[in-house]
Every structure is written in structure tokens, then in C-alpha cells.
Amino acid sequence: MAAPDLETLLDFETNVEAAAKTFLSTATGLSASSAFASLDQDDLVLPRFSAMFELGEALDPTDAKTTGSNELEYRKYTGTLSVMVSTNAAIDGTETNHRSIRAKVRSALLLNAANFTTSDGAGGTILPYYDVNYLRPTGTTMEIDGDIATSTLTYQMNLVIRNDAWPA
């Protein structure tokens, strides 16, 4: 599917975070009102998860923009996906809920899980312009700040812009 314009195609962060919010809401059982991306403006809702994608470097070599094209462009990129799971540590039993949500996030981000390839219901996927060809867990940190417990799960990702994603 072609992106409507270059700005949409090259907004990796918004596209990856929106896809992550979609499949992680399903995987964790948390409603859309408990799912956030890095630039979402919101009130503090607990429990919650937040997805943040940080684009890394382009990978060599360059590739033809589209099949049969002579125009070369960088199409492969690295990045870091962080998913923050936050719960209210002052509520009895929240440690069980926190651990369960954290494990569900990990399960949804397994290599062979239906994550970024999840159907959008219209014949495409929830990540329409890229293929994720590498997704590796790189660690988890845990922090308790007052009554808020937060686990941050970090993944290294490699994305490839699809041949058919370039706008006309």
C-alpha cells in the first residue's frame, strides 16, 4: 500500500507506535484508553502501557526504491522499541497484575507472534508501509516512583520500507 505522501511514509515513530498500541491492547486486555504512544497527551491512567519507537541509523547498502526502479534510496533502518508497563503500586495485588501485563507484552513481541503483521481488517496490516525483519529483546528495567511501578521492556528492531509504500 502506497503512503499518501513522504511525510507519512517517513514518520516511522508514529506508524510503529500506533501499530504497537493496537496489537498490545489486544494482547494485554487493556482498553485503548490505557494504551499510549510517546507523544500522546493524557491524564495518568493506571494500569497502562506506553509504546515509544526511536529510529536509529539507516543500513547499507541502498536499494532500488521500487521494483524495477533505478533510483536508489535507504530503505532499511534500525530502531529501538520501548514498552513501559505502569501500575499503581499502592493497590493490594497490583504486583500480580503488573507481572501479568509485562508477560503479555513479552508474549506479544515474540518473533513469531501476530504483532506488526496483524491484519487491519481491510486486507493489509496494522503496519502498512514497513516490514519488521528483526525484533530482539534487549532488556527490562524496573522502577518504583512513589506509588507508580514501571517496567520498561526494550527491543531492537530493523524495519524495511516496502517496495509498494513509496508515494507516487
Structural domains of the chain, ranges and CATH numbers in brackets: 6-165 (3.30.2000.30)
* More reliable by pLDDT, 54 or 70: 54
Cell of 107: 508474549
C-alpha dihedral sign at 18, 20, 23, 28: negative
Q: Residue 72 and residue 79: Cα distance in Å, rounded?
A: 21
Q: Where are the beta strands (DSSP E) in 23-110?
A: 35-37, 48-58, 63-64, 72-73, 76-88
Q: What phi, psi does 84 have (nearest 5°)?
A: -100, 125
**Predicted structure pTM score:** 0.94
C-alpha dihedral sign at 50, 131, 3, 30: negative
Percent share of the chain, pLDDT over 90:
83
Q: Residue 152 and residue 101: Cα distance in Å, rounded?
A: 12
State the pLDDT at residue 63.
94
Contact (CB, 8 A) for 134 and 158: yes
pLDDT grade for 141, boundaries at 50, 70 and 90: very high
Q: At what angle do helices 94-108 and 12-28 cross, to 10 degrees?
A: 120
Whole-Å CA distances, 124 to 6, 116, 131, 147: 19, 11, 12, 41
Residue 68 has pLDDT above 90, yes or no: no
